[in-house]
Amino acid sequence: MLLEADGRPKAARRTLPDPDAEVVPGVRWGRPEWVPSAAFWADMVSRASEQSDGFVNRDGSLQEEVGFCLLGGYGITAEVNHAVHDRLVEAGVFVPGRRPAEADIEALLLQPVLLGGRPVRYRFPHQRARRLAVALGMIEDEPPPTDDALGFRRHLMRIPGIGPKTASWITRNWLGSDEVAILDIHIIRAGLLIGLFDRSMRVPRDYEALERRFLEFCGALGARPSLLDAVMWRAMRNIGRGPV
């Protein structure tokens, strides 16, 4: 058995097609060292695993998952999202059956969180407090079906403030589903850079068409969409925001 420098078994590497061959129409394979290219993503996902990525919620409640995804998104860093969510968990906001009041949630969101030793304020305390109070009540009254991932997502999209991306995020994390994709700014940027997405398409208007294209790409790579989505998000976030 071949081992890595730290003693772990080396991950298997498959032979990739010619760099100029198309993985899906309009997207060339490229090479693993070309950042980012289809070959780069294929190599990255071959090194990852669902267990190590940790995106599937195995311990918390659906209320906690909805809360985490509603608190995050555009304009909120992952670090702030985690810190604020942890505060609300500790306060019992997501305990099933509690139905917290909007004012109680807002009071918690207005308090700064400490990140790196400095206080940071949450950007949308009033809006997200209102959305969370409504969402938690609706989940209590009509729990979404868990036997159908797309039906689960459609059900969540009835909640004010939950669009296709947030609903897909909850669906992926809660059900571990490979039938949806979380098309946030990092995934869109990655798709634009390799020619996977048409620049004329927009979210949320063209979400389903973009999602079909992403799922087709995953199939061609032989990668689980839920895992590739997480790998892309982390890598593009680390690469940083650049021109596309």
**Average pLDDT of the segment spanning 47-70:** 79
Residue 11: pLDDT band with limits 50, 70, 90: very low
* pLDDT for the residue 31: 95
* pLDDT for the residue 225: 93
Q: What b-and-e string marks burial along 44-70, b requiring 16 or more CB atoms within 10 Å of the CB?
A: bbbebeeeebebbbeeeebbbbbbbbb
CA angle centred on 143, ends 137 and 146, rounded to 5°: 150
| Spatial distance between the Cα atoms of 9 and 201, rounded to a whole number of angstroms | 42
| Spatial distance between the Cα atoms of 75 and 122, rounded to a whole number of angstroms | 10
Is the pLDDT reported for residue 13 higher than 50? yes
Q: Give the Å distances, CA to CA, from 32 to 36, 87, 138, 149, 189.
A: 8, 41, 46, 33, 18
| CA 39 to mean position of chain CA atoms | 22
Residue 58: pLDDT band with limits 50, 70, 90: low
Residue with tokens 């969370």: 132
In the chain, what percentage of residues exceed pLDDT 90? Answer: 80
Residue 232's H or E segment, with its range, is: helix 225-239
Residue 55: pLDDT band with limits 50, 70, 90: low
* pLDDT for the residue 164: 96
| Spatial distance between the Cα atoms of 178 and 114, rounded to a whole number of angstroms | 35
| Spatial distance between the Cα atoms of 67 and 62, rounded to a whole number of angstroms | 8
Residues 6+ positions from 84 with CB-CB distance below 8 Å? 71, 109, 113, 122
Q: What is the pTM of this model?
A: 0.86
pLDDT, tens digit (0-9, with 9 covering 90-100), for 175-215: 989 999 999 999 999 999 999 999 999 999 999 999 999 99
* pLDDT for the residue 16: 73
Is the pLDDT reported for residue 148 higher than 80? yes
DSSP tag of 1:
-
Whether residue 11 contacts residue 21, with contact meaning beta carbons closer than 8 Å, is answered with no
**Average pLDDT of the segment spanning 80-97:** 96
Most confident of 2-11, 39-48, 104-113, 167-176: 104-113
DSSP tag of 90:
H
Torsion of Cα atoms, 58 then 234 then 243 then 168, to 10°: -10
Residues 6+ positions from 79 with CB-CB distance below 8 Å? 115
Q: If you average pLDDT over every residue of the chain, what do you get? A: 89
3-state DSSP assignment of residue 88: helix
